[in-house]
Amino acid sequence: MFFRKKKERPNTIQVTADGPFEVSGDFAVKGREPLDHAFLCRCGASKNKPFCDGSHQCTGFKDDGLSGKQPRVAEIKPVGRMTLNPVDGGALLVNGPHQVLSAGGEIIHRGETSVLCRCGNSARKPFCDGRHAQVNFEN
Ligand code: FES
């Protein structure tokens, strides 16, 4: 019998312009079933957090998604299980091998951990700068 090896899809968090994170690969949002594709809110307005419900289109959320490059891009293969943990009133914690792509497709982070903004207020989007505490971000 012949078994074809399952194709490895890199864990990728794609920033979309004025919109959500498009997440693909092998991942689970903490406390939920594993997924291979999802849109997660990064504007802070979704009524179905951590998932995007399209509210960003009504709130006028603006971020071109082209900035925020991290100083170091690790030379790892972004495959294997990734866990996304939306912290109550806080950031989106990412654990496991992954890469973050700007809205323009540039790799702006690759590594085992990252802390992403999901309140929409960080000055260094897509990464968290702690501003969720100042705006009393709620889930
Ligand atoms: S990014 Fe779509 S609802 Fe927040």
Whether 7 has a pLDDT exceeding 80, the answer reads: no
Residue nearest to atom 2 of ligand 1 (CA): 52
Q: Residue 23 pairs with which residues in a beta bridge? A: 13, 38
The string of pLDDT tens digits covering residues 40-94 is: 999 999 999 999 999 999 999 999 999 877 767 788 899 999 999 999 999 999 9
48 CA from centroid of ligand 1 (Å): 9
**Ligand 1 pocket check for 46: Cβ under 6 Å:** yes
Nearest ligand 1 atom to the CA of 55 is: 3
Which class for 34: exposed (0-12), middle (13-18), buried (19 or more C-beta within 10 A)?
exposed
Whether 10 has a pLDDT exceeding 90, the answer reads: yes
What the block records as the tokens of 43 is 């504007």
Of 43, 64, 138, the residue with max ligand 1 atoms within 8 A of its CB, to mutate for a pocket test, comes to: 43
**Ligand 1 pocket check for 125: Cβ under 6 Å:** no
Domain 12-133 falls under CATH 3.40.5.90: yes
**Ligand 1 pocket check for 41: Cβ under 6 Å:** yes
Domain limits, the chain: 12-133
CA distance 77 to 88: 30
pLDDT-derived band at 138, boundaries 50, 70, 90? confident
What the block records as the tokens of 79 is 């495959």
pLDDT-derived band at 110, boundaries 50, 70, 90? very high
Residue 90 confidence (pLDDT): 96
Report pTM.
0.92
Residue 45 confidence (pLDDT): 97
